[in-house]
Chain A
Amino acid sequence: MIKKKLIIISAILMMISSYAVARDQIKIVGSSTVYPFSTVVAERFGKQGKFKTPVVESTGTGGGFKSFCGGVGVQHPDITGASRAIKKDELELCIKNGVTEVIELPIGNDGIAFSHSVKAKDQNFTKTQLWKAIAHDVVVDGKLVKNPFKNWSDIDKSLPNIKIEILVAPPTSGTRDAFDELVMVKGCDTDFQKLADKKNCTKYREDGAVIEAGENDTLIVQKLTSSPNIFGYFGYSYLAANKDKIKAVKIDGIAPTIEGIQNFSYPVARPLFIYAKKAHASVIPGFKEFLNEYTGKSAVGTTGYLFKVGLVPNSKATEDKVRDTAANLVVLKQ
């Protein structure tokens, strides 16, 4: 009786461990901004019927790198998505754990659209104006004070006389990181930097004019639709999917168009990446084919299916270069 049980238990354990040893499915982790694109590619890739559909996890860019750089072997993910380039310390962690050959693929670009309801009047803000509307402390008459601006017209007479109300993403969000880096730091005026630490540029005001709306972008869209005077920001794909309800304001006179985001003339644009482990290419079935699919002609470009879900494609030259990198598994130089 006991023998029988032992056999069953050891059989189950062997089944589980053998599963862990031989994985026939690609595992992807990383940024929630890249997640919608990776999943679309994964689904189409699986539907071709040659390989299993890859599992795509949404862990955030930092969390993605942490498990991606955990080591080489089937218990570690093969690919991670990132809404920014890999940092030096992350690459060092990778190398320390034996992940020496990393393939970097810029898959396209994302613009952060500062948006409001289609019912409202078109607007144009400069980065400094946006910073003044959102920052916790500003400089007025040479003195550092708590943000006194109640209406947009208090910041600049040319702006409309409406109450400042902005829905922002929580600090954990990658979109907020990018917005802080591209708008709040760059819009931070020199007077402020003389009087206060530069780090405080990204501190948001807490008097109710800036409202933290949670991670749910769909909810932000709903709120913007119901009150035309409120502004909010999110990734370009949300704007593309909800263009019947919301529109983007111009920043420094430039609207977030495809071309503008592609050549970074739109000030709040950033490239998106996936990183892959070359060491896994010969171990995981379908690894090379998946990278080829991700960078292939049917996926990228303005006619590709990724464009339809809101990914702003690379320029033609970059597109071909990325395709080559994927096909030849060119490793990132350290």
Chain B
Amino acid sequence: MSKVEKIKLLKKRYKAERRFKFYGILSVCLAILFLFILIINIFSKGSGAFFKTEILLNIKFDEKKLGLNINSSDKEIQEANFEEILKDALLVLAPKVPELKQAELIDMVSIDAALEVKKFYFYNKGVLNKIAEVPLTLSDDLDQVYKGNFPRDIPEERRRFSDFQLKIFDDQISKNKIVYKFNWSFLTNADSREPELAGVASSLAGSFFTILVCLILSFPIGILAAIYLEEFAPKNKITEIIEVNVNNLAAVPSIVFGLLGLGVFLNYFYLPRSTPLVGGMVLALMTLPRIIIPCRAALKAVPPSIREGALALGASKVQTVMHNVVPLAMPGTLSGTIIGLSQALGETAPLLLIGMIAFINVVPATPIDPSAVLPVQVYLWSESAERGFVEKTSATIIILIFFLIIMNSFAIYLRNKFERKWS
């Protein structure tokens, strides 16, 4: 081979290397691009849900109409009717309108408006017999107009709000009585069929309890199973069959676990339907193989010299495993567990069968209260017809992604912090 040929060949090899690097960069770029499009899409749709419009309404807290006085107890305030003073205040916006239009005026605020007035009075008891400016949640139709999600320049019969309502709304905007602010109630309210009142608190609490139950069950069982199979179990036909089955179980579609939950937990043990307790138990079954497999891999990665050293110093088998092997395998085990749990966090299919695809209007306080979970909330809202739920759906996805990022980065942190390099 001549020198020229050698140089040619070398050039060709360099070229191939550059080409390969280029393909790699290209695929990474494509992956980032898709992720970017997804995130932009969700954020641009969902960010609106974190803000809401309120109307500042001058309300006269007439003691006769409320039936309260300055010494009224909290219980009396709870039972007082605030609808009337709210209606009076709304009618001031457009005096002397026929009764039909009055109903349209009342529809401009959310159905919880009287409750909001009551709450305001609860914290500002000094306003009795005075006029006070109270911020009230607007109905979602007007909220969507303000956010530009619903066009206003189309014929009235194709809109969800009347010309009359729009005129008053514009009037209030020009008087600076419409405020646009951070929507705390989205994080503190339970689910509602009124988009302006709907929040994620119930499904957030539901997800928390479900994952808690799942962790409490699957983590100890999974780790003990993995340690036994890896360190103690004899290598024979039976353990081989178990190993194949564990791997198989990790690939079983999640809906199958839901059927199992329905058949065993609900129909045989009569555990309460639609609750995080049962949801967590079903998800624990699903998560178990996903904990056992990485845990065994982590145990396998601990070099035999550690075990032999401990045994040589007179430690028993249990001492060797518990004091030396398991602590070294912990980082891998923990990150496996967290990734397993974050998969469980995003699961809906098995929950359908045990009744967790449900409308829950109260924030659950214990794992045996009926509740939904975050991905279920996404599903239910994406099915809803009202325009306001479109942004709520994306906002819930943002919250779900946020929690997944936190969990997964915690897994990476644990791995990096505690991982031992064997050199």
What is the CA–CA distance of A240 and B387 in the complex, to the nearest angstrom? 11
What is the CA–CA distance of A244 and B273 in the complex, to the nearest angstrom? 40
Kindly count the residue-residue contacts between A and B in the assembled complex, taking CB atoms under 8 Å apart.
100
Residue of A nearest to B150 (CB): A244
- Answer yes or no: A53 CB below 8 A from chain B CBs: yes
Given A43-B361, A52-B362: A217 and B385 interface contact (C-beta under 8 Å): yes
Residue of B nearest to A219 (CB): B382
What is the CA–CA distance of A58 and B384 in the complex, to the nearest angstrom? 12
Residue of A nearest to B367 (CB): A16
What is the CA–CA distance of A184 and B380 in the complex, to the nearest angstrom? 29
Residue of B151, B361, B362, B384 touching A36 (CB-CB under 8 A):
B384
What is the CA–CA distance of A17 and B355 in the complex, to the nearest angstrom? 18
A57–B357 CB distance below 8 A: yes
Residue of A nearest to B154 (CB): A244
- Answer yes or no: A79 CB below 8 A from chain B CBs: no
A55–B370 CB distance below 8 A: yes
Residue of A nearest to B388 (CB): A241
Q: What size tier do the contact residues of chain B reach?
A: 35 or more
What is the CA–CA distance of A16 and B357 in the complex, to the nearest angstrom? 21
Residue of B151, B193, B274, B368 touching A39 (CB-CB under 8 A):
B193
Which of these binds chain B: A19-27, A160-168, A260-268? A19-27
B193–A40 CB distance below 8 A: yes
Residue of A nearest to B149 (CB): A244
Given A47-B111, A215-B383, A216-B383: A55 and B158 interface contact (C-beta under 8 Å): no
- Answer yes or no: B390 CB below 8 A from chain A CBs: yes
- Answer yes or no: B270 CB below 8 A from chain A CBs: yes
A55–B380 CB distance below 8 A: no
- Answer yes or no: A139 CB below 8 A from chain B CBs: no
Residue of B nearest to A246 (CB): B158
A20–B272 CB distance below 8 A: yes
Question: For residues 38 through 89 of chain A, which have their beta carbon under 8 Å from a beta carbon of chain B?
Answer: 38-40, 42-44, 46-47, 52-53, 55-59, 75
Kindly list chain A residues whose C-beta atoms are within 8 Å of the C-beta of B192. 43
- Answer yes or no: A218 CB below 8 A from chain B CBs: yes
Kindly list chain A residues whose C-beta atoms are within 8 Å of the C-beta of B387. 241-242
| 6 residue pairs from A and B, CB less than 8 Å apart | A16-B368, A59-B357, A75-B270, A218-B384, A218-B393, A238-B385
The 3 A-B residue pairs with the shortest CB-CB distance in the complex, in nearest-first order: A241-B385, A53-B361, A56-B359
Q: A20-B271, A55-B358, A243-B159 are in contact. List 7 more A-B contacts (CB 8 A).
A: A38-B359, A43-B361, A55-B359, A237-B385, A240-B385, A241-B160, A243-B158
